[in-house]
């Protein structure tokens, strides 16, 4: 019996270390994948491609956007963006920074960060602030399901 316990301990330790290593790798994957969604959105925004920017959101009636007002569902979110940023001048140049991503299990994550929007006075002027987003892993990859953005 003592001999079998000595064999099991290294095996058990190997299993534990492998599990911890896989979790750490998974967290790094989530960080990379969520950052990629934000980079895609930033690039689309800066091209004046609102449809491309909106691809970062889940097309669901359950998503929410909280800012000066609350928009519910993808259609409400899209309407809000089109009314507020309906042309390239109103969109300006977007920069995300100070992004921190935290996994919330295997299918959800949240991220916080800063945004800066450089626009002409005619386009609405510059804006900056913070955001908190919740994302869900979908068949199409990570998508935002909740967005709370506030200006400085």
Question: Cβ distance 88 to 48 under 8 Å?
Answer: yes
| Widest pairwise Cα distance in the chain | 81
CB atoms near residue 100 (< 10 Å) = 10
Task: Output the pLDDT for position 112.
Answer: 98
pLDDT tens-digit map of 10-44: 444 334 434 443 444 488 999 999 999 999 999 99
For the chain, list the domains and their CATH numbers: 2-151 (3.10.450.50)
| Average pLDDT of the segment spanning 126-139 | 97
Taking the C-alpha atoms of residue 94 and residue 45, their distance in angstroms, rounded to an integer, is: 7
CB atoms near residue 148 (< 10 Å) = 15
| Among the ranges given (24-28, 67-71, 104-108, 135-139), the one the predictor scored with the smallest mean pLDDT | 24-28
Sorted by sequence, the CB contacts under 8 Å of residue 123 that are 6+ apart come out as 89, 90, 91, 92
Provide the whole-model pTM: 0.82
Task: Output the pLDDT for position 121.
Answer: 95
């Amino acid at each position: 019996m003592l001999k079998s316990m000595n064999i099991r301990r290294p095996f058990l330790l190997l299993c534990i270390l492998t599990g911890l290593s896989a979790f750490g790798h998974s967290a790094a994957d989530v960080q990379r994948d969520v950052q990629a969604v934000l980079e895609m959105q930033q690039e689309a925004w800066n091209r004046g491609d609102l449809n491309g920017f909106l691809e970062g959101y889940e097309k669901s009636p359950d998503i929410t956007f909280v800012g000066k007002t609350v928009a519910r569902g993808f259609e409400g979110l899209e309407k809000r963006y089109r009314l507020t940023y309906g042309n390239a001048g109103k969109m300006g140049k977007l920069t995300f920074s100070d992004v921190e991503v935290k996994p919330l299990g295997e299918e959800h994550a949240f991220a916080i960060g800063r945004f800066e929007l450089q626009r002409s006075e005619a386009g609405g002027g510059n804006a900056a602030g913070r955001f908190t987003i919740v994302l869900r892993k979908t068949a199409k990859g990570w998508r935002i399901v909740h967005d709370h953005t506030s200006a400085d």
